[in-house]
Amino acid sequence: MQYRRSRLLADITYMLCMQHRLSQLLDEGDYSMPRVAPTKMHYTERARAILADARDMLGGNGILLDHHVARHLCDIEAIDTYEGTATVQALIVGRDINGYTAFVPVSGH
C-alpha cells in the first residue's frame, strides 16, 4: 500500500511538472497543437490509471459517491474524451514526428 501511494504521488508530481512546462510554452508563445498534444495524451492516460488504482485501494468505498475518488473517476472519463481522446492526441503527435498522417479517413470528407 505504501509503495502504491508513493507511485501515485510520484505520478501526480510528474504531471504537475508537465503542466508547468506547458505554462512556460504559453508564456513563450510556443503553444501549438503538437506541443500540447503529448501532455494531453500522457496526462489523461496517467490520470485514468491513477484513479483506477486509487479506486482499487479503497475497495467498495472507491465506487461510492460519498468519496471523491468515484467522482474524479467519472470526471476523468469526460476529460479524456473532450478536446481529443488519447488516441487522437497520439495521432497528432505521430503526424508531427513522422511527417505523415495515420488518421483513419472519415467517409464524406
Ligand X SMILES: Cc1cc2nc3c(=O)[nH]c(=O)nc-3n(C[C@H](O)[C@H](O)[C@H](O)COP(=O)(O)OP(=O)(O)OC[C@H]3O[C@@H](n4cnc5c(N)ncnc54)[C@H](O)[C@@H]3O)c2cc1C
Q: What is the smallest separation between the CB atom of 44 and ligand X, expressed in angstroms?
A: 11
Asked if residue 103 binds ligand X (CB under 6 A), the reply is: yes
Asked if residue 85 binds ligand X (CB under 6 A), the reply is: yes
Distance (Å) of CA 80 to CA 39, 46, 75, 100, 102: 12, 10, 9, 24, 20
Asked if residue 82 binds ligand X (CB under 6 A), the reply is: yes
Asked if residue 88 binds ligand X (CB under 6 A), the reply is: yes
The DSSP 8-state label assigned to residue 66 in this structure reads T
Q: Which residues are catalytic?
A: 83
State how far the Cα of 49 lies from the Cα of 52, in Å rounded to an integer: 5
Kindly list the residues in this chain that would bind ligand X in the complex (CB under 6 A): 78, 81-85, 87-88, 91, 103-104
